[in-house]
């Protein structure tokens, strides 16, 4: 069954806010077997909201809106919709004041949800999903099967997918590279076929395939299951790796902490990186990250350790060490440290994200496959 999402709010059209609500709803609805055929963002203007809603209801039978339901000056959705559909069932908002609404008549329906993400998410999962399942059951569900890989590039995977598509033209295939990890999505009406295709791909790249939705979740699960603790020493990633790890509940079951040593004196004081290494090799060097790992093992009881130091840019690059140069060390207590000097993308945000994902990918391969990635 096809449905459309409409997000209402001038803050989205001015670029003030990124439309994460549409992504959240789509993820959940796809999992329930629905196909989302369009996202639309409309401004806080009554007539345009009404027109957009009418257009969408001509294309599909179910429309879900987010935003514009609060008590403040720019909240106009409810008023706009009242004029089209006067009789609605209110949906409770446990976390805020803006209540939602559900409307259903003659196989057509719409659902109004608030714009604040956590209020929207709670109302959607608890109130809207049961109504959607009851009134708009899925007869021919569209299934999705996703496979995630670390340390692989699009160019390595694409030829295999082109072959698969030739053999199974009814299955939609998407490749989503994301700074050091990559996922492939198969969409189709036969789950058995999707699973078979996914298995074929996993087998082809078995040393890089992880079952969790993200590489940080894969590391989380493996560390907890294997009862291994982890410590970090972060320079160029500046806490971003620790933040990603601790965003997951119960990270404290394996994660001891991170020394974000953003200045040379901190590297010397907290990790005993030698003054001469910093002076001669520089903070972005094999020797520096090796000493950072030794410092972590000396100062803490961690079983595994990651150290990262690099030039995230835009400044600080040189001909020998251009912007995007990243040194990563993966340490296991009592074992040889795996050290790589790598080239990340050259914009700051991508370089940081790439360093985080590549480090976690290499740690995961060390944990699961006992594999050295860089050396």
Binding to a second copy (CB under 8 A) within 119-178 occurs at 144, 146, 154, 158, 161-162, 165, 172-176
Q: Among 113, 260, 289, 355, which residue interacts with a second copy (rule: CB under 8 A)? A: 260
Nearer to a second copy, 210 or 255 (CB): 255
Q: Among 61, 258, 309, 325, which residue interacts with a second copy (rule: CB under 8 A)? A: 258
Q: How far is the CB of 10 from a second copy (least distance, A)?
A: 6
| Strand pairing class (181-188; 172-178) | antiparallel
Q: How far is the CB of 174 from a second copy (least distance, A)?
A: 5
3-state secondary structure of 305: strand
Q: How far is the CB of 209 from a second copy (least distance, A)?
A: 18
**Dihedral, CA atoms, 314, 327, 243, 316, nearest 10 degrees?**
-20
Q: Which residue in 236, 238, 300 sits closest to 272, CA to CA?
A: 300
Residue ranges in 89-118 that form contacts with a second copy under rule CB under 8 A: 118
Instruction: Determine if 299 is a binding residue for a second copy (CB under 8 A).
Output: yes
Q: How far is the CB of 234 from a second copy (least distance, A)?
A: 8
Sign of the torsion formed by the C-alpha atoms of 241, 242, 245 and 248: negative
Q: Among 198, 268, 350, 374, which residue interacts with a second copy (rule: CB under 8 A)? A: 350
Number of residues interacting with a second copy: please give it, by CB under 8 A: 93
CB contact set of 181 (below 8 Å; sequence gap of 6+): 148, 149, 150, 151, 214, 215, 357, 361
HSE at residue 312, side-chain half, CA atoms within 13 A, is 18
| Strand pairing class (62-66; 35-42) | unpaired
Q: How far is the CB of 325 from a second copy (least distance, A)?
A: 16
3-state secondary structure of 280: helix
Q: How far is the CB of 220 from a second copy (least distance, A)?
A: 13
Stretch of residues binding a second copy (CB under 8 A), selected from 132-140, 215-223, 236-244, 360-368 = 236-244
Q: Among 138, 141, 224, 257, which residue interacts with a second copy (rule: CB under 8 A)? A: 257
Nearer to a second copy, 150 or 373 (CB): 150
Bridge partners for 81 per DSSP? none
Separation between Cα atoms, residue 309 and residue 355, nearest integer Å: 9
Site string for a second copy, 300-319 (x = CB under 8 A): xx-----------xxx----
Q: Which residue in 315, 323, 318, 321 sits closest to 351, CA to CA?
A: 323
Burial class (CB in 10 A: 0-12, 13-18, 19+), 60: middle
Q: How far is the CB of 202 from a second copy (least distance, A)?
A: 18
Instruction: Determine if 11 is a binding residue for a second copy (CB under 8 A).
Output: yes
Separation between Cα atoms, residue 103 and residue 62, nearest integer Å: 10
3 neighbors 37 (Cβ within 8 angstroms): yes
Separation between Cα atoms, residue 362 and residue 367, nearest integer Å: 9
Residue ranges in 13-72 that form contacts with a second copy under rule CB under 8 A: 13-20, 22-30, 35-44, 48, 71-72
CB contact set of 281 (below 8 Å; sequence gap of 6+): 287, 288
Q: Among 153, 204, 269, 275, which residue interacts with a second copy (rule: CB under 8 A)? A: 269
Nearer to a second copy, 104 or 124 (CB): 124
Separation between Cα atoms, residue 61 and residue 3, nearest integer Å: 7
Stretch of residues binding a second copy (CB under 8 A), selected from 81-89, 194-202, 234-242, 334-342 = 234-242
Q: Among 57, 198, 212, 256, which residue interacts with a second copy (rule: CB under 8 A)? A: 256
The one-character DSSP state at 142 is P
Q: How far is the CB of 87 from a second copy (least distance, A)?
A: 29
Q: Among 47, 58, 73, 134, which residue interacts with a second copy (rule: CB under 8 A)? A: 73
């Amino acid at each position: 069954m096809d449905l459309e999402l409409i997000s209402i709010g001038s803050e989205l059209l001015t670029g003030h806010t990124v439309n994460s609500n549409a992504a959240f709803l789509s993820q959940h609805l796809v999992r329930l077997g629905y196909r989302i055929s369009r996202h639309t963002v409309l401004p806080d203007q009554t007539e345009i909201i009404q027109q957009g809603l009418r257009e969408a209801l001509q294309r599909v039978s179910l429309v879900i809106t987010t935003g514009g339901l609060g008590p403040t000056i720019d909240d106009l959705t409810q008023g706009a919709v009242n004029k089209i559909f006067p009789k609605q069932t209110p949906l409770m908002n446990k976390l805020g004041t803006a209540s939602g609404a559900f409307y259903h008549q003659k196989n057509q329906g719409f659902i109004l949800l608030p714009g604040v993400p956590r209020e929207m998410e709670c109302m959607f999962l608890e109130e809207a999903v049961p109504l959607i399942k009851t009134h708009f059951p899925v007869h021919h569900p569209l299934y999705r099967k996703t496979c995630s890989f670390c340390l692989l590039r699009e160019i390595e995977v694409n030829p295999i997918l082109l072959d698969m598509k030739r053999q199974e033209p009814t299955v939609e295939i998407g490749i989503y590279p994301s700074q050091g990890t990559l996922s492939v999505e198969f969409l189709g009406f036969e789950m058995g076929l999707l699973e078979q295709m996914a298995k074929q791909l996993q087998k082809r790249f078995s040393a890089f395939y992880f079952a969790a939705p993200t590489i940080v979740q894969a590391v989380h699960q493996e560390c907890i299951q294997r009862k291994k603790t982890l410590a970090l020493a972060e320079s160029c990633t500046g806490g971003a790796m620790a933040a990603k790890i601790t965003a997951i509940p119960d990270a404290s079951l394996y994660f001891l902490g991170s020394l974000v040593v953003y200045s040379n004196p901190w590297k010397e004081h907290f990790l005993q990186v030698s003054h001469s290494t910093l002076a001669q090799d520089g903070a972005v060097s094999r020797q520096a990250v090796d000493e950072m790992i030794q410092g972590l093992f000396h100062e803490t009881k961690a079983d595994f350790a990651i150290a990262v130091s690099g030039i995230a840019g835009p400044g600080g690059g040189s001909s020998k060490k251009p912007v995007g140069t990243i040194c990563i060390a993966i340490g296991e207590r009592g074992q040889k440290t795996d050290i790589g000097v790598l080239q990340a993308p050259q914009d700051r945000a991508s370089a940081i994200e790439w360093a985080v994902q590549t480090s976690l990918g290499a740690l995961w391969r060390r944990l699961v496959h006992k594999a050295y990635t860089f050396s």
